[in-house]
Amino acid sequence: MSDAYAISLEHIYKSFGSVEVLKDVNFHLVKGTVHALVGGNGAGKSTLMKILTGVYTCDSGKIVVDGNEVKIRNTKDAQKNGIKMIFQELSLSPTMTVMENIFLANESVKGIALNKKEMYRRTAELFEELHIHVKPTDKVKDLDVGVQQLVEIAKALSVEAKVLIMDEPTASLTEKETNTLFRIIEQLKEKGVSIVYISHRMKEIFRVCDKITVLKDGEIVQERNKEDFTLDSLIEVMLGGSVEKQMKYIPRKEPIGDEKILTVKNLKVGNRVDGVSFELRKGEILGLAGLMGSGRTETLEALFGLRKKEEGTEIQMDGRSVKLHTVSQAIQSGFALIPEDRRRQGLVLEHTLKENVVLPNFKSVMKGIRIDRNKVRAMTEEAIETLAIKTGSVEAGMLSLSGGNQQKAVIAKWLNTNPKILLMDEPTAGVDVMAKAEIIDIVRKYVAKGNSVIFVSSELSEMMAICDRILVYHAGKIKQEFEREKIESEEQLEYAIQH
Amino acid sequence: MQSNTKGRKKIDINDYMVYIIFVVVLTIFAVWLGGTFFSMSNILNITRQAGATAVMAVGMVFVIGLGHIDLSIGSVVALSAMIIAMILRTTNNIILALAAGLALGAVVGAFNGFAVVKLKMPAFLVTLGVSSVIRGIAMWTTNTKAVPIVNKTFNHWFGAGDVGVVPVLFLWTILALALGYFVLEWTPFGKRTMATGGNYMASKYSGVKVELITFQVFIIMGVISALAGALYAGRMQTARWSYGDGVEMDVIAAVVLGGTSMAGGNGSIVGAVVGALLINMINNGLVIGGFNTAQQIIMKGIIIILAVALGSVKTKKRA
């Protein structure tokens, strides 16, 4: 019977210090199937997969591969057993070319020299098969994030793997790229490859997975075939409570006034944003929808002084022309940006929570010429309190926080600068459903004070939940504008984005 | 799919900066100093002076490409030269002398690598400390006395000799260039080194033995520095404890001028060798131009800063 399983994890326990992260976890992956692993951040999914890939070792328990018990002490052991992981964080070397990355540590050689021709040919073939349009000699750092992610997947496939673990593989993919990925998954299944699929996107899980296992607080709460779940029942099992309410659109009690806080005329940014004009009212949440690379991120970055605006762009705040050439000008004008990549752009991961929160706010914690530690502590404690950041102390290292709590720390750091306009770029990416709802709640409270938000997201459900108005971007231009009340369904918005 | 590459220029002027500066400096010296500078004999002389720096620059491309630094190379030059000279004096056996010198380099490199990999010490501080220790030992060996080398074969093949009109030291440079280029661009080792410098964790997770690679690169750097010590000794037909004092700065400057990023992840062998030639050309030109030593080092510093500044002027913002 055990032969039907590509992998069995039996009675796995794992603790970090005194914290028990996994408790008696049993997980069976049937050969040639896609098995979803879901659960909030901190549920133990990543830890379980890291045990399987040899990044961590379990305290006790058994790992059975193909019916044989094996020891996986390091990543090499995992590879020997045909287990391969595609990481959520990009694991490519940015300064190297695509083909060098694909063949890293697995180079094709002729004598003692690299066989570049062969590597080029095989890379080109692999991409051809996967319908990814990249030159093998392109440097990874010159590629868009979504394409980098596909390269990452291709890299995992270049080695014959029996078991493939995908951690949020679609997080930075466009709809088209996602379809490409799902087609690849089908091909892999036919070849008998078994896949563990970790994602926060429930719709995708129902689309590609055969079986779903729900982890919660380090324990398996349910494991069933996909058919036995509905979206609602799955979310219910995952949360054990209901956050449905926050994810629903709540019409404004008081209508937003006509007072314009920001007017953007003919914004041009390189070849990415091509003459975009819009207005933002006081107290309004304006959504920017569109595919990746359509110019949404670049719009935010240009407003925040990170990107150069071309001749002819005009930006007014409260009716007065403003220059936003640098980040400090933007901050002084009342902008704050919650960036797309919190690990790289949002936080100093090596530092503590306190140090991160205070970084743009030194002015308000000074006492004469020195930093007042009590003020720093007070500011951080207030942030923990108001944003419900789950952490042991203000001194907690950023790395010890889950993704959702890290994101709240980024928001805390910027809310303390008292911005008038908050620019948010994919603020809920890689964040569990509960934290997502909390972040949305924070945004609602923030605009209730008369502030404004420009909200970029690829999750239409959350845009539908909080935006008052949505602009649909396409190839650097605004294609369509929707008042929230006029949108009847997510599908209508999706249609506008896709066509 | 939309555009695959970000709107960036494919050809980066920085990659060619060292060649441009090289030509500009060469032209300035040639116009200013005429035949005394721009003659065959002087140009060959520059290649002789640059030999040891260029050879070490090739090794340093790997160290810096890996995201580390090695400040102990200058001291290894000195102690290796002393050991080689002393063994030649007592045994007159070139192979034995050379083997002992290179072994010293390997031991120092292995220690540096061990401290960085296993003790997790920063390379900057480890190699700075090691540099002082090794320099001290070099002084101690003969109580600061110089050791002359009378072995003609050694002096010919490791320094003063020519093959036809080509100085032996230039042949060493070409050999280092060719080998370094091959290893960096055409072997798994080179690619893995740069991948590790570009993204340590990613390389580790890809199955690269990142610790072993770091260890190996430091050993290679040590051995190359010891070889450079032999080249110093051969050219001067003497060994002195003071050889290579400050040469680590010339080597690092040559590598960075040549387009290798201090952050690691990329590197250019050809650029580093041209950088080494450039720095020695500046020295040479300033001597011929009649500057005294004080003025020379001031000028050299200014020229290096200017050159690196030119190289790092990048488009400030992403377009």
CATH number of the domain bearing residue A109: 3.40.50.300
In chain B, where the domains are located:
45-310
CB contact under 8 A, A174 and B1: yes
Per-residue tokens: A252: 């404004």
Q: For residue A40, what pLDDT band results from cuts at 50, 70 and 90?
A: low
How far apart (Å, rounded) are the C-alpha atoms in residues B255 and B234?
24
The predicted pLDDT at position A340 comes to 86
The predicted pLDDT at position A496 comes to 82
Map residue B39 onto helix, strand or coil.
Answer: coil
The predicted pLDDT at position B263 comes to 86
Tell me whether A128 touches chain B (CB under 8 Å). no
Reply yes or no on whether the pLDDT at A1 is more than 60. Answer: no
How far apart (Å, rounded) are the C-alpha atoms in residues A455 and A422?
8
How far apart (Å, rounded) are the C-alpha atoms in residues A430 and A190?
29
A166 and A299 housed in the same domain: no
Low-confidence winner among A66-75, A181-190, A395-404, A489-498 (lowest mean pLDDT):
A489-498
CB contact under 8 A, A91 and B194: no
Q: How deeply is B98 buried, as exposed, middle or buried, from its count of CB atoms within 10 A (0-12, 13-18, 19+)?
A: buried
Per-residue tokens: B317: 């913002």
CB contact under 8 A, B188 and A134: no
A222 and A272 housed in the same domain: no
CB A25 within 8 A of CB A216: no
Please report residues of A whose CB lies closer than 8 A to that of B199: 91-94
Q: How far is CA A437 from the centre of its chain?
A: 15
The predicted pLDDT at position B312 comes to 63
Residue of B nearest to A179 (CA): B1
How far apart (Å, rounded) are the C-alpha atoms in residues B72 and A145?
40
Reply yes or no on whether the pLDDT at A388 is more than 70. Answer: yes
CB B70 within 8 A of CB B56: no
Question: Which DSSP helix (H) or strand (E) runs through B139?
Answer: helix B123-141
Reply yes or no on whether the pLDDT at A239 is more than 80. Answer: no
The predicted pLDDT at position A80 comes to 86
How far apart (Å, rounded) are the C-alpha atoms in residues A184 and A149?
14
CA distances from A381 to A294, A392, A427, A442, B66 (A): 39, 11, 22, 16, 41
The predicted pLDDT at position A494 comes to 75
Residue of B nearest to A156 (CA): B206
Pairing of strands A469-474, A285-289: parallel
Reply yes or no on whether the pLDDT at B7 is more than 50. Answer: no
Say which residue, A21 or B32, is predicted with more confidence.
B32
Domain of residue A318: give its range. 246-498
Handedness of CA B220, B226, B229, B234 (dihedral sign): negative
Residue ranges of E strands in B21-113:
none
A351 and A229 housed in the same domain: no
Domain boundary among A223, A241, A259: A241
Reply yes or no on whether the pLDDT at A400 is more than 50. Answer: yes
Map residue A190 onto helix, strand or coil.
Answer: helix
Q: How far is CA A49 from the centre of its chain?
A: 18
The predicted pLDDT at position A236 comes to 73
Question: What is the per-residue pLDDT across A188-229, written as a single tens digit (0 to 9) for each?
Answer: 888 889 999 988 777 788 899 999 999 887 888 888 998 998
Please report residues of B whose CB lies closer than 8 A to that of A308: 317-319
CB contact under 8 A, B198 and A270: no
The DSSP code for B6 is -
Per-residue tokens: A442: 């924070």
A189 and A269 housed in the same domain: no
Q: How deeply is A208 buried, as exposed, middle or buried, from its count of CB atoms within 10 A (0-12, 13-18, 19+)?
A: buried
Alpha helices in A29-166 (DSSP H): 45-52, 75-80, 98-102, 116-130, 145-158
Reply yes or no on whether the pLDDT at A242 is more than 50. Answer: no
C-alpha distance from B15 to closest chain A C-alpha (Å): 14
A66 and A155 housed in the same domain: yes
The predicted pLDDT at position B11 comes to 58
Question: What is the per-residue pLDDT across B53-80, written as a single tens digit (0 to 9) for each?
Answer: 999 999 999 999 999 999 999 999 999 9
Residue of A nearest to B9 (CA): A142
The predicted pLDDT at position B196 comes to 93
Please report residues of A whose CB lies closer than 8 A to that of B195: 93, 96, 100-101, 104
Number of domains in chain A: 2
Query: From the CB of residue A27, how many other CB atoms can be counted at a distance below 10 Å?
Result: 21
Question: What is the per-residue pLDDT across A95-152, written as a single tens digit (0 to 9) for each?
Answer: 899 999 999 888 889 988 999 999 999 999 988 887 788 899 999 988 887 788 888 8
CB A333 within 8 A of CB A317: yes
Reply yes or no on whether the pLDDT at B138 is more than 70. Answer: yes
The predicted pLDDT at position B202 comes to 83
Question: Which DSSP helix (H) or strand (E) runs through A29?
Answer: strand A19-30
Please report residues of B whose CB lies closer than 8 A to that of A293: 2-3
Residue whose tokens read 């030999």: B51
CB half-sphere exposure, B253, CA atoms < 13 A: 22
The predicted pLDDT at position A116 comes to 93
Question: What is the per-residue pLDDT across B42-53, written as a single tens digit (0 to 9) for each?
Answer: 999 999 999 999
Tell me whether B202 touches chain A (CB under 8 Å). yes
Reply yes or no on whether the pLDDT at B9 is more than 50. Answer: no
Per-residue tokens: A144: 């868009």
Per-residue tokens: B306: 């200017």
Per-residue tokens: A109: 């050689």
Q: Quick one: chain B helix, strand, coil %, rounded to 5?
A: 75, 5, 25
Question: What is the per-residue pLDDT across B167-203, written as a single tens digit (0 to 9) for each?
Answer: 999 999 999 999 999 999 999 999 999 999 998 988 8
Strand partners, A269: A273
A207 and A310 housed in the same domain: no
Reply yes or no on whether the pLDDT at A248 is more than 80. Answer: no
Nearest to B194 among A90, A92, A95 (CB): A95
A221 and A311 housed in the same domain: no
Residue of B nearest to A91 (CA): B202
Tell me whether B124 touches chain A (CB under 8 Å). no
A190 and A110 housed in the same domain: yes
Please report residues of B whose CB lies closer than 8 A to that of A475: 2
The predicted pLDDT at position A41 comes to 57
The predicted pLDDT at position B106 comes to 98
Over residues A421-442, mean pLDDT: 87
Please report residues of A whose CB lies closer than 8 A to that of B208: 104-105
Which ipTM value was assigned to this complex?
0.79
CA distances from A40 to A123, A204, A240, A402, A411 (A): 36, 16, 11, 10, 20
Q: Name, of A384-393, B169-178, B262-271, the range with top average pLDDT.
A: B169-178
The CATH code of domain B45-310 reads 1.10.3470
Question: What is the per-residue pLDDT across A52-69, written as a single tens digit (0 to 9) for each?
Answer: 988 888 899 999 998 889
Map residue A368 onto helix, strand or coil.
Answer: coil
Residue whose tokens read 């920063």: B122
The predicted pLDDT at position A101 comes to 92
Domain boundary among A241, A263, A282: A241
Q: For residue A263, what pLDDT band results from cuts at 50, 70 and 90?
A: very high
- Buried b / exposed e over A75-93, threshold 16 CB at 10 Å, is bebbbebbbbbbbbebbbb
**Mean pLDDT over each residue of chain A, to the nearest integer:** 87
CB contact under 8 A, B202 and A270: no
Over residues A356-361, mean pLDDT: 90
Q: For residue A437, what pLDDT band results from cuts at 50, 70 and 90?
A: confident
Domain boundary among A241, A276, A299: A241
Question: What is the per-residue pLDDT across A75-86, written as a single tens digit (0 to 9) for each?
Answer: 788 888 889 888
C-alpha distance from B7 to closest chain A C-alpha (Å): 7
Question: What is the per-residue pLDDT across B75-120, written as a single tens digit (0 to 9) for each?
Answer: 999 999 999 999 999 999 999 999 999 999 999 999 999 999 999 9
Biggest distance spanned by C-alpha atoms of chain B: 72
How far apart (Å, rounded) are the C-alpha atoms in residues A268 and A285?
22
Query: From the CB of residue A351, how many other CB atoms can be counted at a distance below 10 Å?
Result: 15
A223 and A320 housed in the same domain: no
**Mean pLDDT over each residue of chain B, to the nearest integer:** 90
The predicted pLDDT at position B44 comes to 93
